[in-house]
Structures are given as structure tokens and as C-alpha cells.
Amino acid sequence: MRAFHALGSTLVSAELRFRFPGAYRMGMPARAGWTVDMLESLPDDGQRYEIVDGELFVTPAPARSHQLVLAALFSRLEAYLRASTVGRLLFAPVDVRRGPKRNVQPDLLAVRLDALRANEGPFDFSDVLLVVEALSPTTARADWHVKRPLYQSVGIPQYWLVDIDARSIHRWLPSDDRPQVLADRIEWQPVGMDVPLVIDIVAMFREALED
């Protein structure tokens, strides 16, 4: 996946510049530009549009390897939650929103079952049990330095950053200054589940990438 910082970038489409010219004034602080109302007016073109504190990020469709790894991880997490009353797992695009300038669409997220039954979304960050993002060189800034502190600051119980090249998962808890880097196995037990889910990371990558 590629994520582009849209403000001031030559990669922003002419259509967006025409529709929202004030957001692209040269020298304008990135945090001042984008709101949820503006986000909802963007085209449905297969790309993922997210804003964090007014900063717009545009992410095209993921690479095949990312899709395969996320699918393998999804199947394990979904099977674990399926029969529970705790939550359910969802794939992007699913909006998670708070206030007028924060709207993200994680690659995978576990949402509390009561919140899912109450509405179709957008969900609040308090509805989320787990966020998973797949890392690539061009999403590193957003995943590490923008989304990660956001997820921690709003109290997401766990944030997993999947490094497909290194075949590892970086796990962040809200109070962590640095992640746990896990390459063999990872455990997850949200409140309300009687037993933890144990994922064999080596086997998951081997299965997904067929090697």
C-alpha cells in the first residue's frame, strides 16, 4: 500500500484541488485543512481517504501480498470471535471517527458486538477492541508517526502493525513507549473472552505467502 500526505503534494488530483482550493494553499499548516464533511464529499474511487487532526492521507488499494497476509490474519481473528458476545472483526473500509477532524479506516479492526448491533458505523474509537495495519515503506510515516500515537491517545487496547517484509508484528499498548516485536507467536485476549487466541506468526506468513 502507498499512503500520500495530500496537503501540498503533487500527487493530489486536480479534482480535489478544484473542489477544495482552500485546503491546498501553499504554506498552509497540514492540521488546519480537512474535516469529516469534506471527506464525505470525496469520490468513491477505490482509494482510502483518512484524516487525522485535519491531515488528509490517501491510500490506494493494497498489494497482493498485503491482501493475502491480512486475509490469513482475518481468518484467525474472526474464527476466535465468531461465537462470542464480545465483538466481531471487520475489514476496511470501515470508518472510525471522533470529532470533525479524525476519521480513519484501519486495515482490520475488532469492534464490540453491542456497538455493531447498535449501528452500521461510523464507530467511535471507544467501540474498537483491536486495530491492525499492514506496513509498507510508503505507509511508514502514517502508520508509525500519525496513526500509532492517535490509537494510543484514544485508548485503543491494542494496535498491531504487521511488517510483511520482516514477517513480524509490532504490538503497541496504550502506555507503551516502544512496541513488542513478535516474530514467533502473538496472543490476544480481549475483556470477556475466557481463553486467549494464540497465533503462530511463522505459520500464518507461510500459509499466506505459500512458501
Judge whether residue 209 has pLDDT over 80. yes
Residue 45's pLDDT is what?
67
pLDDT tens digits, one per residue of 30-50 = 445 878 777 777 767 667 777
Domains of the chain, by residue range, sit at 4-59, 64-209
Question: What distances in angstroms separate CA 104 from CA 38, 51, 70, one per listed residue?
Answer: 14, 6, 17
Q: Which CATH class is domain 64-209?
A: alpha beta
pLDDT tens digits, one per residue of 46-97 = 677 777 777 777 776 667 888 999 999 999 999 999 989 999 999 988 999 9
